[in-house]
């Protein structure tokens, strides 16, 4: 007799669709980005990466971050995060009273250079400045370590080295660390490898998050492997859009509705109402003007009753 793996009772999902999802797209007007965030809130999503305070010249789709934040109905129940690349961005985000800052650096030296034109060490020191300013404002900082499972430039990432980088960030005052599979190189086996390394370092706990991309179709399997290891915090994007403009063929994020539908079926609570989330995914489709790459967005959860097609 095999026993079933024990999954966490609940998970926290941060929807990064308004940021990671829309970032590589043609710019969507501010009012419609507000509408997307509001539709996620209406579905019960309690953490949302809504904007990035980056140069509008470099990333036109993220222009108007302060205006988007101004337009969102804020409540204690919802954590609104902003991605910030530097101290100036952090200061602007704090002026807009965000609840959380996200910062990124890459485990891959080459990717980091291409993404932010800094070495990994330079990014670490930029993050230290941001952490100081956020701490003064009482705002938590989540560091997203991109290419945590490898990069197209350097190949596989050594989990022990990834964890050592995370430990330095946490020692420096970063509140939480999220391990990002930026180019879809993670597999269930490699989720176990990272979980083993986190466990050895005493870091396998609620502060640990995963940011999954579905480039090679492994994202949902990776999420469930992580759940079996007790990881219960995930970044996903409504509609499954996304993908770094700096990593060719990066592929979309794990779609929020795909994860939520599977978690609902597994009896793991997310606080999110699947049919309203599907409405948000269909709104994304309207905003980008093409079908989103998510079966759940189009067919609904497995229990939805509708006429079979084809
Ligand atoms: Zn991403």
Domain locations in the chain as residue ranges? 12-299
Query: Distance (Å, rounded) from C-alpha 75 to C-alpha 69?
Result: 12
Segment 50-76 shows an average pLDDT of 96
Residue 21 gets which letter from DSSP? I
- Of 68, 178, 169, 156, residue with least CA distance to 120: 169
Query: Distance (Å, rounded) from C-alpha 15 to C-alpha 46?
Result: 9
CA–centroid distance, 23 to ligand 1, in Å, is 10
CA–centroid distance, 148 to ligand 1, in Å, is 12
- Class in CATH terms, 12-299: alpha beta
CA–centroid distance, 254 to ligand 1, in Å, is 9
CA–centroid distance, 213 to ligand 1, in Å, is 6
CA atoms within 13 A on the CB side of 151: 21
CA–centroid distance, 135 to ligand 1, in Å, is 25
CA–centroid distance, 250 to ligand 1, in Å, is 9
The model's confidence at residue 305, banded by pLDDT at 50, 70 and 90, is confident
Token representation of residue 198:
């986190």
Query: Distance (Å, rounded) from C-alpha 235 to C-alpha 47?
Result: 9
CA–centroid distance, 182 to ligand 1, in Å, is 5
Report percent pLDDT > 70 for the chain. Answer: 96
CA–centroid distance, 21 to ligand 1, in Å, is 8
83-97: per-residue pLDDT in tens?
Answer: 999 999 999 999 999
CA–centroid distance, 33 to ligand 1, in Å, is 18
> Where are the alpha helices (H) located in the chain, listed in sequence order?
30-43, 65-71, 87-95, 109-116, 120-137, 159-171, 188-200, 219-228, 256-266, 274-288, 295-299
Query: Distance (Å, rounded) from C-alpha 129 to C-alpha 136?
Result: 11
Q: Is 185 helix (H, G, I), strand (E, B) or coil?
A: coil
180-199: per-residue pLDDT in tens?
Answer: 999 999 999 999 999 999 99
Centroid of chain to Cα 149: 15
CA–centroid distance, 191 to ligand 1, in Å, is 17
* Cβ partners under 8 Å of residue 107, min gap 6: 120, 145, 146, 147, 148, 151, 157, 161, 162, 165
């Amino acid at each position: 007799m095999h026993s079933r793996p024990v999954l966490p009772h609940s998970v926290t999902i941060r929807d990064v669709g308004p940021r990671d999802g829309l970032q590589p797209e043609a710019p969507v007007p501010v009012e419609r980005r507000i509408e997307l965030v509001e539709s996620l809130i209406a579905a019960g999503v309690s953490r949302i990466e809504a904007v990035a305070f980056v140069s509008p010249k470099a990333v036109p789709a993220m222009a108007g971050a302060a205006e988007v934040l101004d337009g969102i109905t804020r409540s204690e129940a919802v954590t609104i995060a902003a991605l910030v690349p530097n101290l100036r961005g952090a200061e602007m985000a704090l002026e807009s009273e965000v609840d959380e800052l996200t910062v990124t650096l890459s485990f891959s030296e080459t990717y980091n250079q291409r993404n932010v034109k800094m070495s990994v060490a330079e990014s670490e020191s930029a993050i230290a400045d941001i952490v100081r300013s956020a701490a003064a404002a009482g705002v938590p900082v989540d560091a997203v370590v991109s290419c945590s499972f490898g990069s197209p430039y350097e190949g596989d990432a050594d989990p022990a080295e990834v964890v050592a980088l995370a430990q330095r960030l946490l020692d420096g005052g970063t509140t939480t660390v999220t391990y990002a599979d930026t180019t879809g190189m993670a597999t269930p086996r490699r989720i176990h490898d990272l979980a083993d390394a986190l466990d050895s370092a005493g870091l396998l706990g609620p502060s640990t998050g995963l940011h999954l991309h579905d480039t090679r179709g492994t994202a949902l399997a990776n999420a469930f492997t992580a759940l079996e290891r007790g990881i219960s915090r995930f970044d996903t994007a409504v509609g499954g859009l996304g993908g770094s403009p700096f990593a060719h063929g990066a592929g979309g994020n794990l779609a929020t509705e795909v994860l939520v539908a599977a978690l609902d079926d597994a009896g793991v609570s997310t606080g999110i109402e699947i049919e309203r989330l599907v409405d948000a995914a269909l709104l994304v489709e309207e905003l980008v003007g093409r079908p989103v790459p998510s079966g759940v967005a189009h067919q609904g959860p497995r229990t939805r009753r509708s006429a079979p097609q084809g």
